[in-house]
Amino acid sequence: MAENDKHVQHAIPKFAGHYDHWAKLMETFLRSKQYWNLVEHGITKVVDEATPLEEEVKLVKEHKLKDLKIMNYLYQAIDCEVLDTILNDETSKDIWDSMKQKFQGSTRVKRAQLQALRREFEILQMKKGEIVNLYFARTLKIAKRMKACGEHMDESVITTKILSSMISKFNYAVCSIEETNNLEIMTIDELQSSLFVHDDEENVLHITNEDKGGRGRGRGRHFIRDGQGRGRGRQPFNKANIECFKCHKLGHFQYECPTWQNANYVEAEVQDEIKEEDELLLMAYVDHKQGKEENWFPDSRCSNHMSANEE
């Protein structure tokens, strides 16, 4: 396994115009090969050039050989059009310093960039409908650019900024996090995880409510005596299974019974179009007539009965 690792060719970071990002990648690449010391400090010089010691000469040769390898990496990483603008390229340190001076910018420019980034960070707010991960990505991108310009920024500054700039639907989650955590030591990853869980729960609840809203509306159909339901519109009515409570025969209601002569009944007119939640009113009544106390009402299954006779 160790022999295979020796032959693994690590990708050389290519310079694509973003110097700060490339410089970090390239520095890490050279440090992994133990070459960074030459880029940072240059080739060791002999103290006494007239009579150099044998050990010094040997060390200088080793450094020059390593420096050639570093320059080979830099030539592969940097486009030829950029290399043509570098006049002093005798050592890897010369090339590195020239790239830094060309693309990292002067102190004045970096200061102006930092001021603009501070203002952008200050007014940063979460957008309506923006998910947690995207907002964290926007915030951390600005924070990294500020650090690249020399700004010292603790994680607590970023977490405090995020909590104070969330949209209103996260108010409950923000209050809960502030009460149950020490924001001075809370990491960005912990905060992102907590808010992401809250956002995920909100989305699930929203979908569940939408699903419920599309089903089960209304209170069901209302049923009349024969058990047949009425929906919207007038439905055909079959009396074949209706039992008369007077003669106990099938096919008619009690008020239609030919053996019943004394009471008069009125059924409420059924509308051609009836709403789903409207109920059908079926009632019986008799005009008050002096001296005819034998007039009464049959049991029509109504919960309340009305009579013109107070007794």
Q: Which of the pair, 95 or 45, is modelled with greater confidence?
A: 95
- DSSP notation for 154-212: -HHHHHHHHHHT--GGGHHHHHHHHHHS-TTT--HHHHHHHHHHHHHHHHHHHHHHHHH
Q: What is the pLDDT of residues 116-129, one digit of tens each?
A: 999 999 999 999 98
d(CA 124, CA 138): 9
Please report which confidence band the pLDDT of residue 78 belongs to, taking 50, 70 and 90 as the band edges.
Answer: very high
Please report which confidence band the pLDDT of residue 39 belongs to, taking 50, 70 and 90 as the band edges.
Answer: very high
Percentage of the residues of the chain whose pLDDT score is greater than 90: 31
Question: Residue 302 half-sphere exposure, CB side, CA atoms within 13 Å?
Answer: 15
Q: What is the pLDDT of residues 43-70, one digit of tens each?
A: 877 655 656 678 878 888 899 999 999 9
Q: Which of the pair, 248 or 203, is modelled with greater confidence?
A: 248
Q: Which of the pair, 70 or 18, is modelled with greater confidence?
A: 70
Question: Residue 75 half-sphere exposure, CB side, CA atoms within 13 Å?
Answer: 9
Phi, psi (deg, nearest 5) at residue 243 = -105, 130
Contact 133, 192 (CB under 8 A): yes
Contact 186, 179 (CB under 8 A): no
Helix (H) or strand (E) holding 230: strand 229-230
Q: Residue 265, exposed/middle/buried by CB under 10 A (0-12, 13-18, 19+)?
A: middle
The label of the residue with tokens 């509308």 reads: 271
Q: What is the pLDDT of residues 221-250, one digit of tens each?
A: 443 444 444 444 444 556 777 777 677 778
d(CA 150, CA 147): 5
